[in-house]
Structure 1
């Protein structure tokens, strides 16, 4: 797997640093971090990451709502992480969920599944690779 540019969205600073350390050890590069819904959306648009790892439940805003806003501009592979169960929460098509705490092996598997989701049809009716909407819903 090639090195990825990853945006980490996590409102707990120590957890964000731990995730960054794991990703660096795996050969990836954290291109940015954010701790709120609005910062996540802004960082995604500014940095254009290859992958987003995002806490599903943020103290300020929602990781799930942030991803909905990000995905409205085109598909970005993403992994929802949470210390709470995301069971019963409706996630977008192509989403991968990972329960905290997780191992490097579990994260590596989740990254592979998130990258594979690029080939799924998007929920917006467009091409998930280009982010374009085709209008044929």
Structure 2
């Protein structure tokens, strides 16, 4: 079975690299790490991810806005990561969100929830 392609959207380069390492260890293929809203939208069009891990707040743009733009072309399961989850829940009720800092097991569970939701819809 082919590894799922994951787009990581994270403006802190070290955290983006750590996420990529954790995702690789879980058996996923990271197709891009992007730090901006514009970069995320372009990368999604380029690499057609099966899953997105998205920091809600970016220095240049918004992860939430990037996801909204990307989803206009079709559904992609996604998990938001953020220091504060209430804002995301208010903007996108029902969104799968994990709070920073998190453990790899928490990320794995959130990914599974996102994939399960996508499979059932």
Do they superpose with TM above 0.5?
yes
Residues 46 and 116 of structure 1: CA distance in aligned 2, closer, same or farther (over 3 Å): same
Counterparts of 2:40 and 2:34 in 1: how far apart (Å)?
Answer: 5
Query: Gaps (5+ residues) in structure 1?
Result: 122-137
For residue 74 of structure 1, give the secondary structure of its aligned residue in structure 2.
coil
Per the alignment, residue 69 of structure 2 pairs with 69
Give the equivalent residue in structure 1 for 2:118: 118
TM-score, length of structure 2 as denominator length: 0.90
Report the Cα distance in structure 2 between the residues aligned to 1:68 and 1:41, rounded to whole angstroms: 10
Greater fraction helix: 2
Asked if 1:100 is matched to 2:63, the reply is no
Please give the per-residue CA displacement for 1:82-136, whole angstroms capped at 9, x wherever unaligned. 12x121432165x310111111111110011111121465xxxxxxxxxxxxxxx
Determine the C-alpha separation between the residues in 2 that align with 1:71 and 1:79. 13
Q: How far apart are residue 3 of structure 1 and its match?
A: 2.9
1:78 CA drift (Å): 0.3
SS of alignment partner, residue 86 of structure 2: coil
RMSD between aligned residues: 1.7
| Bigger Rg over Cα | 1
Give 1:28 deviation, angstroms.
1.1
Q: How far off is 1:19 after superposition?
A: 0.4
| Residue pairs, 1:13-92, within 5 angstroms | 13-83=13-83, 85-88=84-87, 89-91=90-92
Greater RCO, 1 or 2 (C-alpha within 8 Å, sep 6+): 2
Structure 2: state its 5+ residue gaps.
none
